[in-house]
Amino acid sequence: MKISKIMKITGIGNYFPKKILTNNDLEKMIDTSDEWITTRTGIKQRRIAAEDESTSAMAAKAARKAIKGAGLKPSDIELIMVATITPDMNFPSTACLVQAEIKAFNAASLDIGAACSGYVYGLSIARAYIASGVYKNILLIGAEKLTSITDWTDRNTCVLFGDGAGACVLQPGYTNSGIQSILLGSDGRKGGLLYIPAGGSKMPSNQQTVNEHLHFIKMKGSELFKVAVTKMTEAAVGALEMCGMTPDDIDMLVPHQANIRIIRAVGKKLKLSDERVYTNIEHYGNMSSASIATALNEAVIKGRIRKGNIAVLTAFGGGLTWGACVIKW
């Protein structure tokens, strides 16, 4: 059996729910303004999943497109991974629910819990399986229904998040294009900066946790801001160094879409012009693990990343976790 050390993205697919919530809509719900949200975050609107539209349903829609794009059938998929912090339920895993939905019955299935860095963590897991020859056809999805864990009475957080899903199929490559390097990191000591207090084994749900809004995202935004800029920059530089490159080699940076000011600060540190930094935060807000997934796919679909280009993904999120990936397209 020929084992390839190079992994390629051979199919991509995005899905966004239809409903759009604009900043002007939010002005009618909480004490905020389009001007504040736009200047402080870069977000103009976000998509909101329908009440009966779960994370797995969105993931399955993105997955079908990616599998078709790769020229495969669902039955060819050997491993399904879903990066998400908004699983349909604690178990079964969202990946198992996607498997049933798309009828990929030959696949093993698992979820990845690395918050906004989940998609980059997923690429790294897939790469290990492909480099060891264990699997050849892997489906990776970043999918989130963040609006289901958003406190719509908290203006500090509710303006930030949106729903969506991005997927790709990963296969061995036999040329030098594909994933060149991946660097991951985490700091569990700072987990309290971004978390959901209740609903897990530490603080099971009860009437009090519901009354106190403890099932929603709690975030220390300004403290996270500084760590995000530092870690996303360091991760990108580190991943480039791993394959003998520097930020000068970047054709397109695809950063996690938490805040346009974070994105610009990272771009500035890497000395990249705005044209070399891809954003979709203005249309979709922060979709956690689905942000990098959908942004990368969009950049490829729009021709902003072309054959031979060097794309660098750099992610940061709850955990804290971070990670970067260098791809020769």
106/121 Cα distance (integer angstroms): 23
- Encoded amino acid at 151, one letter: D
159 contacts ligand ACO (rule: CB under 6 A)? yes
Token output for 124: 């790294």
267 contacts ligand ACO (rule: CB under 6 A)? no
188 contacts ligand ACO (rule: CB under 6 A)? no
164 contacts ligand ACO (rule: CB under 6 A)? no
Q: Which stretch binds ligand ACO (CB under 6 A): 32-40, 162-170, 180-188, 244-252?
A: 32-40
Residue 303's contacts (CB-CB under 8 Å, 6 or more residues apart) are none
126 contacts ligand ACO (rule: CB under 6 A)? no
106 contacts ligand ACO (rule: CB under 6 A)? no
Q: Which stretch binds ligand ACO (CB under 6 A): 126-134, 196-204, 217-225, 242-250?
A: 217-225
232 contacts ligand ACO (rule: CB under 6 A)? no
CB-nearer residue toward ligand ACO: 34 or 251? 34
Integer CA distances (angstroms), 185 to 88, 223, 307, 318, in order:
27, 18, 29, 12
Report the residue from 222, 244, 303, 308 that binds ligand ACO according to the rule CB under 6 A: 222
155 contacts ligand ACO (rule: CB under 6 A)? yes
Report the residue from 4, 38, 106, 156 that binds ligand ACO according to the rule CB under 6 A: 156
253/315 Cα distance (integer angstroms): 11
- Encoded amino acid at 270, one letter: L
Count residues contacting ligand ACO (CB under 6 A)?
24
Report the residue from 69, 185, 197, 221 that binds ligand ACO according to the rule CB under 6 A: 221
Report the residue from 317, 324, 325, 327 that binds ligand ACO according to the rule CB under 6 A: 317
Interface characters, 190-209, with ligand ACO (x: CB under 6 A): ----x---------------
279 contacts ligand ACO (rule: CB under 6 A)? no
Report the residue from 10, 14, 41, 297 that binds ligand ACO according to the rule CB under 6 A: 41
Q: Which stretch binds ligand ACO (CB under 6 A): 12-20, 48-56, 292-300, 315-323?
A: 315-323
**Min. distance of Cβ 287 from ligand ACO in angstroms?**
9
Report the residue from 115, 179, 253, 310 that binds ligand ACO according to the rule CB under 6 A: 115
223/299 Cα distance (integer angstroms): 30
CB-nearer residue toward ligand ACO: 41 or 181? 41
Q: Under a CB-based contact definition with an 8 Å cutoff, are residues 121 and 320 in contact? A: no
Name the catalytic one among 168, 256, 259, 325: 256
CB-nearer residue toward ligand ACO: 122 or 318? 318
Residue whose CB is nearest to ligand ACO in the complex, by number: 221
What residues are annotated to the active site?
Answer: 116, 256, 286
Under the rule (CB under 6 A), what is the footprint of ligand ACO? 32, 36-37, 40-41, 115-116, 155-156, 159, 194, 221-222, 224-225, 228, 258-259, 262, 286, 288, 316-318
